[in-house]
Amino acid sequence: MPDSTPHPSPLELSSPDKTFLDSNELILNMGPQHPATHGVLRVILKLDGEKVLGVECVIGYLHRGVEKIGENRTYAMFNPYVDRMDYVAAVSNGLGYCETVEKLLQIEAPPRANYIRVILTELNRLASHMLWLGTHALDIGAMTPLFYTFRDREEILKIFEKYCGARLTTHAFRIGGCLYETYDGFERDVKKFIDFVPPKIDEYEELLTSNRIWVERTKNVGKISAADCKALGVTGPVLRASGVKWDIRKALPYAAYPDFDFEIPVGANGDTYDRYLVRMQEMRQSLRIIRQAVEGLPEGPIMAKVPKVMKPPAGEVYHSIEAPKGELGYFIVSDGSTQPYRVRVRPPSFVNLQALDLMVRGQLVADVIAVIGTLDIVLGEVDR
């Protein structure tokens, strides 16, 4: 494939025939198997001593051809596949897909289904952020919050299991609404959870937020400006921590979000510490949304009238939701048959990962690991 403008790889050594001890420039490979890359991600670093001059990510180790599979499955059959992309927060993947197909079919899920969807999606956001916090702290060296967050995440997974039978890849929603009615005791469980979790979040904050070592490891590390975020298309907590108040739940509301009152936390500096604070605040706001949803759960049907054989009219639609990691978008092209012509997923981690190079230039090697953690990438989503 000819390139009109030669794109110099950041990894070209300026003087290739010196050894690594003479020229101070070193190409280092953080291979696909590494404890800190959150999956099979290969990161090639060009270093000058300790300073990072450039980073190249090699992805594709987890590519499973999900989008191609989508072309050979009917719309309902493709629903379980989307959970496997961002396997950490599977519920929001399902929500995005179902809403996109509903937009294509021009049907609306009933209010009760929307409320149930919101409750489960916000619980899923909490679970994702808790996992993020544990693994990020572990990368930076604090090994204890991992166990605390996983312990509390268990409660969420128990609710998911009681609701739809699966903890991780939930396949919770169907096109047109929800398949399962809430089980007996769902509201009680969720309310118990909402009361149980805020002291735990306070505990995590107590361990980390004002810990001097944590602050020194995360302040001014991996800074990215708002303009760069917008230019690269970075979304989610990364964008919000750089100062841009953009959340699709407020900007282009979907599901039952217009009914709820919540805030969008925004950071100031765009460094790792701000991203940490933004995500902690998002956890609390999620709890707020869940409380309002559970208290105002309306009665009614949970499934809209959906044709047995789904043949949407020919056309294309793009719909995005605010997944825990950023803007998760689905672009579906229909040719009028039961199987989509093209399903294209816009995964937030894939787009956010492109910012890695910009964020670690000039930082030290140990910061690369902190920045990969703070971007909160899931390789299942990056590679699909």
Question: Residue 125 is which amino acid?
Answer: R
DSSP characters for 162-205?
Answer: HHHS-SSS---EETTEESSPPPTTHHHHHHHHHHHHHHHHHHHH
Shortest approach of another protein to residue 124 CB, angstroms?
Answer: 23
Shortest approach of another protein to residue 161 CB, angstroms?
Answer: 21
Chain residues in the site for another protein (CB under 8 A): 19-22, 28, 30, 35-36, 49-51, 137-144, 146-148, 151, 207-208, 211, 213-214, 216-217, 364-367, 369
Shortest approach of another protein to residue 10 CB, angstroms?
Answer: 18
d(CA 37, CA 43): 8
CB nearer another protein, residue 146 or residue 351: 146
Shortest approach of another protein to residue 139 CB, angstroms?
Answer: 5
Report the 10 Å Cβ neighbour count for 145.
Answer: 20
Shortest approach of another protein to residue 214 CB, angstroms?
Answer: 5
CB nearer another protein, residue 91 or residue 137: 137
Residue 97 near residue 109 (C-beta atoms within 8 A): no
User: Looking at the DSSP assignment, which residues form a beta bridge with residue 317?
Assistant: 332
d(CA 221, CA 272): 6
| Residue 141: Cβ-neighbour burial (10 angstroms; 0-12, 13-18, 19+) | exposed
Shortest approach of another protein to residue 59 CB, angstroms?
Answer: 20
SS (H, E, C) 279-304: HHHHHHHHHHHHHHHHHCCCCCCCEC
- Residue found by looking up tokens 């805020």 in the block: 198
Residue 42 near residue 61 (C-beta atoms within 8 A): yes
Shortest approach of another protein to residue 116 CB, angstroms?
Answer: 31
CB nearer another protein, residue 107 or residue 365: 365
CB nearer another protein, residue 217 or residue 319: 217
Sheet holding 315-323, edge to edge: 315-323, 326-334, 342-346
CB nearer another protein, residue 272 or residue 286: 272
d(CA 24, CA 321): 45
CB nearer another protein, residue 68 or residue 361: 361
CB nearer another protein, residue 131 or residue 332: 131
